[in-house]
Amino acid sequence: MPGTTVTGADFMHDLDASGDSELRIGSLFSGYGGLDLAVEQVFNAKTAWFSELNEPVARVFSGHWPDAPNLGDITTIDWSQVEPVDILIGGFPCQDVSTVGKRAGLAPGTRSGLWAHMAAAIDVLQPEWVVIENVRGLLSSPAIRPPAEGDDHDRRYPGDATPDDATLRGLEPDPWHLGDNAARPLRALGAVLGDLADLRLDARWIGLPASLVGAPHQRFRIFALARRNVPNPAGDGLIARRGNPRPGASATRDDRAVAPDHRLRAPRTGWLTDQENRIGDAVVADRRTVQRWGRYADAIIRWEHITGRPTPAPALLSDVDGPRPAPAFVEWLMGLPTGWVTDASGLSQNQQITALGNGVLPLQAVSALSLLAA
């Protein structure tokens, strides 16, 4: 389910644009680092710093990236004081665009409206690449963009085209056009892609389920990969439109083309290569697996083969609360190494479940970024 905004013919030329030096990642809304793992794998890069507000989840991230400082609350960061990076990544909060949420949409004041702060970071830091991940609701939730100076607000958001929660009445009828009709409210993804275009970034996006890489669940996600189309501009003016001007641009970088395979990958993501190599292998559930898992046996045995480890017990049993999902099982469902979250110091089982439920499945993100890179 791919989609495209304005993209240059040489969009993916010089993927590893730093020559012999390692590309540096700035990570926003970082969670347990699932998107970082995928970007490190695809770009052969390293996370330099991260921003995560949830303190228990930040402990998970710091345990795996001990040298990366946490910049904390994205709404309080002065980006002019932050070290520039080659790749800026993030999955901004999805509560307001999720199909199981209230569908408040991408708008100022909402949790999902924190995208504006990521756009501000892009504008100041001027990364060569931007990677975004979010839920399927980006295709159907509305977006209200802050008006630019001189905008005719009534034309952009006519009263008779205001979407309601039941039918999203007034949204452009075709989700693949994503904002071609200026007289209609934008879809959330259309607003994000429009902002990237304003920031002089060419973007490609794709939607795919986790089951495409062999996971035993759907977990459909949207991924976008963008690259700068104007080398190191002095500033794109988007933040001035938002009323929060800040100076700054990253330094010019080496533009030699060197294939990523010319260097060894970090041990942190080596297991992802093993998982990639097992996708598509033929596996057959044995009698014991069928007896244990019934109609789920084929999905379970396939994911066991891809992850290289057996399925943990799926539930925690309690006489008081009844059965609850076991964090180790959810961790396995996400394709993470054993203990990636569950061995984190001091996290309760509820905190582990929260961290895992909001995270990115690394192998799914690797597949999406590889498809976009192709």
Residue 192 · residue 132 · CB < 8 Å: yes
User: Is 70 exceeded by the pLDDT of residue 115?
Assistant: yes
- Bridge partners (DSSP) of residue 47 are 25
Domain 2-262+367-373 fold is Rossmann fold (3.40.50)
Please answer whether residues 355 and 347 qualify as being in contact, where contact means their C-beta atoms are separated by less than 8 angstroms: yes
Q: How confident is residue 176, by pLDDT bands cut at 50, 70 and 90?
A: low
Ranking 166-170, 250-254, 263-267 by mean pLDDT, the lowest is 250-254
> Has residue 103 got a pLDDT over 50?
no
- How does residue 146 score in pLDDT terms, banded at 50, 70 and 90? low
Is the model's pLDDT at 162 over the cut of 50?
no
Residue written as tokens 């070290």? 83
pLDDT at position 98, please? 42
Task: Enter the pTM of the model.
Answer: 0.79
Is a pLDDT exceeding 70 seen at residue 348?
yes
**What is the predicted pLDDT for the residue at 373?**
83
* pLDDT confidence of residue 82: 97
Residue-wise DSSP of 34-63: HHHHHHHHHHTEEEEEEE---HHHHHHHHH
Q: Where are the domains of the chain?
A: 2-262+367-373, 267-364
Comparing 182 with 158, which gets the higher pLDDT? Answer: 182
**pLDDT at position 155 over 90:** no
In angstroms, rounded to a whole number, what is the distance separating the alpha carbons of residues 244 and 242? 6
Lowest mean pLDDT among 34-43, 49-58, 134-143, 285-294: 134-143
Q: What is the dihedral of CA 214, 270, 52, 32, to 10 degrees?
A: 50
Give per-residue pLDDT as tens, 61-98: 999 999 999 999 999 999 999 999 999 999 987 444 44
Q: What local confidence, expressed as pLDDT, does residue 172 receive? A: 58
Measured CA to CA, the distance from residue 42 to residue 16 in angstroms comes to 10
Judged by average pLDDT, the poorest of 29-33, 90-94, 129-133, 329-333 is 90-94
- List 132's β-bridge partners, or say none: 90, 224
Share of the chain above pLDDT 90, in %: 55
Judge whether residue 180 has pLDDT over 90.
no
- Per the DSSP assignment, residues forming a β-bridge with 87 are 25, 129
Pick the range with the lowest mean pLDDT from 100-114, 219-233, 262-276.
100-114
Query: Do residues 262 and 242 make contact, with C-beta atoms less than 8 angstroms apart?
Result: no
Percent of the chain with pLDDT over 70: 67
d(CA 136, CA 209): 10
Burial track 240-258 (b if 16+ CB lie within 10 A, e otherwise): ebbeeeeebebeebeeeeb
Tell me the pairing of strands 45-51 and 2-4.
Answer: unpaired
Amino acid type, 225: L
Confidence at residue 113, expressed as pLDDT on a 0 to 100 scale: 61
Q: Which residue has the higher pLDDT, 214 or 162?
A: 214
pLDDT score of 283: 94
Strongest mean pLDDT among 134-148, 323-337, 346-360: 323-337
Average of per-residue pLDDT across 326-330:
96
Q: Evaluate if residue 167 carries a pLDDT over 80.
A: no
Amino acid 251: pLDDT: 41
CA dist 177 and 179 (Å) reads 6
Q: Taking residues 108-120, report their average pLDDT.
A: 70
Nearest to 198 by CA among 241, 169, 155, 254: 241
Q: pLDDT grade, residue 102 (50/70/90)?
A: very low
- Identify the pLDDT of residue 22: 86
Q: How far is it, in rounded angstroms, from Cα 111 to Cα 373?
A: 30
Tell me the mean pLDDT in the region 344-370: 92
Adjacent-strand bridge partners of 168: none
Q: How far apart are CA 36 and CA 330, in angstroms?
A: 19
Mean pLDDT of 223-238: 69
Q: Stretch 5-32: mean pLDDT, rounded?
A: 66
> Residue 18: pLDDT above 60?
no
Read off the tokens for 266. Answer: 């970090």
Per-residue pLDDT at 104: 43
Query: What does the alpha-carbon distance between residue 23 and residue 30 come to, in Å, rounded to a whole number?
Result: 18
Average pLDDT in the chain: 78
Q: Which tokens go with 372? A: 């976009």
